[in-house]
């Protein structure tokens, strides 16, 4: 009887160890969460021609100022963000500077499963979907501070700290050029807050370094 009890205890212990080993093996085989599983690498368009303005005879600004503004817009790469598809290397030239339906995440998608996303707006002078109701001063304020005067909010992904150094002449030339473009009606998706699932695609730009 004693030997049977010892064997039973040994068998129970072996079974317990087998369960523990199985659980440990199962945990080891569980696929870890990959924050990049829902992402794919893309290459944004880096060379994009700035669109032509309306006929000179109907323009409200001097040709030299508009041409300077066009040069500045191309130099600053405004079209890369504000042209539909350019962020993923597939620019739609019919919507050049008319806003992007591909957004930019401004919180970290490697931390937040559903990051905050902003969709670069339409900067053609369309009254309903673009900057047609804006003034020169409002546009210059946005350019230099990232602050939209009508809602006092910063545009999180706009590189305004660099644009803040643009002189008055160049800032006004940019405004002159943008207001001289043909208006293009194109409504971009609304901004998405962190924690909400975006209904339109987005990209993420970030710089990381090792902790070691």
The DSSP string of the chain is -HHHHHHHHHHHHHHHHHHHHHHHHHHHHSPPP-TTTT----------PPPP-S-GGG-SS-HHHHHHHHHHHHHHTHHHHHBTTGGGT---GGGTTSB-SSEEE-S-TTT-SS--EE-PPP-S--TTTSSTT--HHHHHHHHHHSEETTTTEE-TTS-HHHHTT--HHHHHHHHHHHHTSPP---PPPPPB-TTSPPSS-EE---------
Q: What tens digit of pLDDT does each residue of 162-199 get?
A: 888 999 999 999 999 999 999 999 999 999 999 999 99
Taking the C-alpha atoms of residue 168 and residue 170, their distance in angstroms, rounded to an integer, is 6
Taking the C-alpha atoms of residue 85 and residue 48, their distance in angstroms, rounded to an integer, is 12
Helix axes 168-179, 136-145, angle to 10 degrees: 120
**Contact assessment for residue 69 and residue 123, using Cβ atoms and an 8 Å cutoff:** no
pLDDT category at 6 given cuts 50, 70, 90 is very low
Q: Is the pTM higher than 0.85?
A: no
* Higher pLDDT, residue 80 or 40: 80
Taking the C-alpha atoms of residue 44 and residue 64, their distance in angstroms, rounded to an integer, is 30
pLDDT of residue 162: 85
Q: What tens digit of pLDDT does each residue of 33-74 get?
A: 566 677 777 888 888 888 999 865 556 899 999 999 999 999
Q: How far is CA 188 from the centre of its chain?
A: 12
């Amino acid at each position: 009887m004693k030997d049977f009890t010892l064997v039973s205890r040994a068998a129970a212990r072996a079974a317990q160890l087998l369960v523990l080993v199985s659980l440990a093996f199962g945990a080891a085989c569980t696929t870890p969460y990959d924050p990049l599983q829902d992402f794919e690498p893309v290459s944004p368009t880096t060379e994009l021609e700035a669109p032509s303005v309306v006929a000179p005879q109907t323009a409200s600004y001097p040709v030299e100022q508009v041409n300077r503004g066009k040069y500045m817009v191309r130099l600053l790469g405004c079209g890369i963000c504000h042209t539909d598809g350019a962020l993923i290397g597939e620019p739609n030239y019919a919507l050049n500077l008319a806003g992007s339906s591909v957004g930019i995440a401004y919180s970290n998608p490697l931390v937040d499963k559903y990051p905050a996303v902003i969709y670069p707006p339409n900067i053609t002078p369309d009254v309903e979907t673009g900057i047609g109701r804006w003034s020169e001063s409002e546009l210059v304020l946005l350019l230099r501070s990232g602050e939209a005067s009508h809602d006092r909010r910063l545009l999180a992904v706009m590189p305004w700290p660099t644009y803040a150094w643009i002189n008055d002449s160049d800032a006004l030339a940019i405004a002159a050029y943008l207001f001289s473009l043909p208006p293009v009606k194109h409504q971009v998706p609304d901004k998405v807050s962190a924690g909400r699932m975006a209904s339109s695609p987005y990209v993420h730009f970030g710089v990381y370094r090792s902790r070691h």
